[in-house]
Amino acid sequence: MDDIKEYLKAERSQEWRTELRKSKKAKERTGLERASMPEADANKRNKNNEEVNKGLAAEIALVEASRCLDCANPTCIAGCPVGINIPKFIKRIEKEDFLGAAKVLKETNTLPAVCGRVCPQEKQCEASCFYTVALKKTPVAIGHLERFAADYEQNSGKMSVPEVQKPTGIKVAVIGSGPAGLACAGDLAKFGHEVTVFEALHEIGGVLKYGIPEFRLPNSVVDIEIDSLKKMGITFKTNFIIGKTVSIEDLREQGYQAFFVGSGAGLPNFMNIPGENYNNIFSSNEYLTRVNLMNAANPDYDTPVFSGNNVAVIGGGNTAMDSVRTAKRLGAERAMIIYRRSREEMPARVEEVKHAIEEEIEFMNLHSPVEYFADKNGKVNKMRVQKMELGEPDASGRRRPIPLEGSEFDVDVDTVIVSVGVSPNPLIPSALPELEVTDWNTIEVNPENMQSSIPDIFAGGDIVRGGATVILAMGDGRTAAEGMHKYVTEKVKAN
Amino acid sequence: MNKIIEKEHFSKLVIKLVIEAPEIARSRKPGHFVIIRVDKKGERIPLTIADADESKGTITLVIQRVGVSSCKLTDLEVGDTILDVSGPMGQATHLDKVGTVLCAGGGVGVAPLLPIVKGLKEAGNRVITILAARSKDLIILEDQMNEYSDELIIMTDDGSYGKKGLVTHGMEEVIKREKVDMSVVIGPAIMMKFASLTTKKFNIPTVASLNTIMVDGTGMCGACRVTVGGKTKFVCIDGPEFDAHQVDFDQMLQRLGAYKDQELEAYEEYLKTLA
C-alpha cells in the first residue's frame, strides 16, 4: 500500500502536474458547475437503439477536467475497484493530451470505454471525490471523463496497446470472457504469460454482449476493447465449455499452469409462484440474450422474441431497467417495473431510473406478483399482484417488504420478464467436485489473491460474488491475475 | 467453424450429418447434446448427438426438417461449414445394468436413442427396442438398432411397415409379455407423454429425453425450463433426461409452441427464398 502511495506522490510531483495545478486557483476550479451528459431525446430514443448518453464534447471535457483539484490525497482512487490513477488521467485531459489520458486508464483498466459507461461511479470514485466528501458539492464527473478519453482514443484509430513484458512461456487459462475474465487476461498478458480465454458462447464479452443493451453499451465499443486484448497476444476460443468440451485436467495436461474461473452468475432466479412457466414469461437473461446477443428484434435474424404491448418487468435492479427499456423500444405501449420495495431501495443506478422515467416507463413500487394466469394456449394474459409495505431493515440494510393481506388485484399483461437476480452458473463447480463452494454455490476464494481451495484455480466476478457489477468483477480479475502471477512464477521456479 | 464430412438422406425430411468436432467427439457421452448456430444470422438450436467417432474426430447428428434452422442446416452440403457447434452439453445417460430395458423411439428421436441402446446393451441389459413412425419412409437407423437390441419391433401408424399401431401399443404388448425393469422413451413430446403414461400404469421406471427450446444451453437463460415433480428444472443443465413420470408434458408441449406463429411465418418466408 505504501508503495502505491509513494508512486502516486512521485507521479503527482512531476513538473507538468505541478505546473498545471498552479495554472488555476482552486477557487476558480471549485466555482465551476459539473458538466452534464448530453442525452438523446427521450421520446425518440425509446423507439430505437441509439446510445442514450452521447458523451462529452472536448471543450466541455476540458472544463470538467479543470474542476479536479489534483488532491495531495486522492481519495477517489480508493473508491475505484481497479485503482485507476484518476487525477493523472484527468490532468492529461486538462492538458489536452487525450490519448495520453486513455493510456493512463489502460495502465490499470482493461475496458475503460465500458467502465466509463456502466460503472456506478456515484457509489465509487465520485462518492469519495473531494468535492463530495469535503466540499459537499457535486463531484468531478470522473465517469464521463473516463468515457471521453476512452472514446477519443477509439475514434482516433490510434489505439494504444498496453506494454507487455517479455514472454515467460507460461500457459495460463481464463474461463469466461466477461468483465472479470477480460480484466484478468489483460493483466496476465502484461506479466508476459501466454493467455488463452475460453468462452462457452459464440461471442466474446459475456454479460457485456448478451446482457447490457446496445443503447447503454454498444457492442462495437466492446469489440474495440477486445481487439486491444488480441493485440496484446491473448488467444480467444469461443464455443468452448470448460468442464464439458474439455476438462480442467485436459488443460493441465496441455501445459496450463493456472486457471481463472470467471464463469459468471449465469443461472436466472425465478420466484416459484403459480403460473411462472406460462409462455411469454422470460428471465431477463433470456429476453436480453435474445435481443442483444441473438439480434432477435432484427427481422433478418432467425431468433424470435416475443415482446408485447403490456410488459411487466419484475425487479428493481439495473438488469430490470435494461429489460423494461428494451421492451419499450420493441414497441410496448405499457412497460412497467414491478418492485416490492419503494423507489429509494431500488438497487438500479440512479441514472438508469432517471432514463427509464424519461422514456415513459411506469413504476409500480411496493407491489409483488403472486400468481400468473394464461389464455387457452398457455400465453400469460394476467398477473395478480399484492401490495407491500416496508417494515424493519433486513440483513441487506434495506427495509423489508411486508405483504398486505387482501390487497391483491389483477393487471393485464402479455409479456413478463422476471429480473429478480441470478445465481452462480453451476457448470464449473459441478465439473470439479473437490472445489469448495458456499451455501449459495459461489466459489470460495481467499480474497487476498482470489485463490480457490484447489491451488491452481483462481476465481472472481459473479461466480464468487453471486451477482455484482462489471467493475467489481474486473477488480477481482486484476487481484486474481496478480495472485496467479505469483503462483505460477513460484511453481515454475520450484520445478 | 465445423466442416460437414458426410451427409445422408434417411428420407426426404430426415437427414444425417457427420460433422468435424474433435473435442466434442472425444468428450461426449450418450445423452449429451450440442448447440448449433448455422450462420451469422442463425439461432442457437439444441441437437442430441446420435453418434461420434473419436478417431475421426466427428459427431453425427440426425435432423428433421421442420423449420428455418433445421432446413438451413440440412441444406448444407459435404465440405460446407457450420459457424458454431458447442458442447457436449447436458447430463449423460446413466447406463447401469438393471435387467430388461424397453427403449422406445419416435420419429427422429430414434437417433439420440441409438447411443443409449448401445450403452445399455454393453452394460449387460436385455434390450427390447421399438421404433415408431407415421410411415415406412420415416423409420430410421433400423440396422444399427437391430445390431444392439435383443429384439427390435417396428410400429407404423399406417401399417406401411412392421406392425400397424402406435408406439404405446407395441410397448404394452411387451410389458404384458415379459418383466420390464426400465424404459427409455425419446421422441416428440406428445409421444413421450403417452409412452410415459403407458409405463406408469405398470409402475416401470421410465426416462425421457426432453427436447425443449433453448438459447444458450448452459443454464443462463431458462428458456428450456419445465416442471418435473412439481419443481422447475432447466433441461439444459439438469437434463435433458428426467424421470418421465414426474415430467409435466402438457406444460412442455405448451412451451414448445411458444413461438409457433413466428416459426411458421419465418418458415414460409424461407421457402419463398428457395423458390
Band (B271; pLDDT cuts 50, 70, 90): confident
The answer to whether residue B265 scores a pLDDT higher than 90 is: no
Distance CA A321, CA A335 (A): 10
Q: pLDDT exceeding 90 applies to what percent of chain A?
A: 88
Name the more confident of B11 and A445: A445
Q: Read off the pLDDT of each residue in A176-196 and give the average, rounded to a whole number.
A: 97
pLDDT at A306: 86
Buried b (16+ CB within 10 A) or exposed e, A295-325: bbbeeebbbbbbbbebbbbbbbbbbbbbbbb
B-chain residue closest to A379, CA distance? B258
Band (A399; pLDDT cuts 50, 70, 90): confident
B-chain residue closest to A374, CA distance? B254
Neighbours of A399 (CB within 10 A): 16
Which set of grid coordinates corresponds to residue A326?
428494451
Nearest CB partner across the interface for A294, out of B43, B72, B227? B43
Q: How far is A278 from chain B (nearest CA, A)?
A: 7
Contact A303/B215, CB-based, under 8 Å? yes
A405's torsion region: left (phi>0), alpha (psi -120 to 50) or beta? beta
ipTM above 0.90, yes or no: yes
Contact B227/A301, CB-based, under 8 Å? no
Please state which of the ranges A92-96, A370-374, B160-164, B256-260 shows the lowest mean pLDDT. B256-260
pLDDT at A493: 86
- The mean pLDDT of chain A is 94
B-chain residue closest to A298, CA distance? B41
Interface of A with B (CB under 8 A): 200-202, 210, 238-241, 244-247, 266-268, 270, 272, 276-280, 282-283, 285-286, 289-290, 294-295, 300-304, 306, 377-378, 425-427
Contact B237/A304, CB-based, under 8 Å? no
Nearest CB partner across the interface for B43, out of A266, A272, A303? A303
Nearest CB partner across the interface for B215, out of A294, A306, A425? A294
A-chain residue closest to B32, CA distance? A244
Long-range contacts of A13-16 (CB under 8 A, 24+ apart): A16/A91, A16/A95
pLDDT tens digit sequence for A440-457: 899 999 999 999 999 999
Distance CA A117, CA A266 (A): 22
Band (B209; pLDDT cuts 50, 70, 90): very high
pLDDT tens digit sequence for B90-144: 999 999 999 999 999 998 899 999 999 999 999 999 999 999 999 998 899 999 9
H helix runs in B89-204, sequence order: 110-122, 142-148, 167-177, 189-201
The answer to whether residue B199 scores a pLDDT higher than 70 is: yes
Contact B86/A304, CB-based, under 8 Å? no
The answer to whether residue A273 scores a pLDDT higher than 90 is: yes
Band (A1; pLDDT cuts 50, 70, 90): low
Nearest CB partner across the interface for B221, out of A245, A246, A268? A268
Contact A290/B24, CB-based, under 8 Å? no
Distance CA B55, CA B78 (A): 19
The answer to whether residue B274 scores a pLDDT higher than 80 is: no
Beta strand A334-339 with A362-365: parallel, antiparallel or unpaired? parallel
Q: How far is B86 from chain A (nearest CA, A)?
A: 5
Stated pTM of the model: 0.94
Q: Is B100 helix (H, G, I), strand (E, B) or coil?
A: strand
pLDDT tens digit sequence for A449-492: 999 999 999 999 999 998 888 999 999 999 999 999 999 999 88
pLDDT tens digit sequence for A143-163: 999 999 999 999 998 888 899
Contact A304/B84, CB-based, under 8 Å? no
The answer to whether residue B258 scores a pLDDT higher than 90 is: no
Distance CA A237, CA A24 (A): 51
Rounded to a whole number, what is the largest CA-CA distance in chain A?
Answer: 75
Find the helix or strand (DSSP H, E) in which A322 lies: helix A318-329
pLDDT at A494: 86
Beta strand B206-209 with B241-243: parallel, antiparallel or unpaired? antiparallel
Band (A307; pLDDT cuts 50, 70, 90): confident
pLDDT tens digit sequence for A280-290: 999 999 999 99
Sort out which chain A residues have CB atoms less than 8 A from B255's CB and list them.
277, 279, 378
Mutation choice for B interface testing from A199, A237, A244 by most B CBs within 10 A: A244
Contact A304/B263, CB-based, under 8 Å? yes
Interface of B with A (CB under 8 A): 23-24, 27, 37, 41-44, 68-69, 72, 83-89, 215-216, 218-223, 225-227, 232, 234, 237, 251, 254-255, 257-259, 262-263, 266
Nearest CB partner across the interface for B255, out of A277, A289, A301? A277
Q: How far is A356 from chain B (nearest CA, A)?
A: 24
Which set of grid coordinates corresponds to residue B119?
450403452
Measured CA distances, A198 to A235, A256, A314 (Å): 9, 13, 33
pLDDT tens digit sequence for A405-432: 999 999 999 999 999 999 998 889 888 9
pLDDT tens digit sequence for A319-332: 999 999 999 999 99
Mutation choice for A interface testing from B35, B221, B262, B267 by most A CBs within 10 A: B221
Peptide bond into B22 cis (omega under 30): no
pLDDT at A203: 96
- The mean pLDDT of chain B is 94
pLDDT at A2: 66
Contact A427/B227, CB-based, under 8 Å? no
Nearest CB partner across the interface for A285, out of B41, B85, B222? B222
Residue A314: CA atoms inside 13 Å, Cβ hemisphere, count?
27
Q: What are phi and psi of B42, to 5 degrees?
A: -75, 165
Q: pLDDT exceeding 70 applies to what percent of chain A?
A: 100
User: What angle is formed at CA B118 by the lines to CA B114 and CA B122, rounded to 5 degrees?
Assistant: 170
The answer to whether residue A128 scores a pLDDT higher than 90 is: yes
Band (B229; pLDDT cuts 50, 70, 90): very high
Nearest CB partner across the interface for B68, out of A266, A302, A378? A302
Band (B262; pLDDT cuts 50, 70, 90): confident
Please state which of the ranges A144-158, B38-52, B144-158, B253-267 shows the lowest mean pLDDT. B253-267
For every residue of A441-460, DSSP letters joined together read SPBP-BTTTTB-SSTTEEE-
Cell 460503472 belongs to residue: A119
Band (B257; pLDDT cuts 50, 70, 90): confident
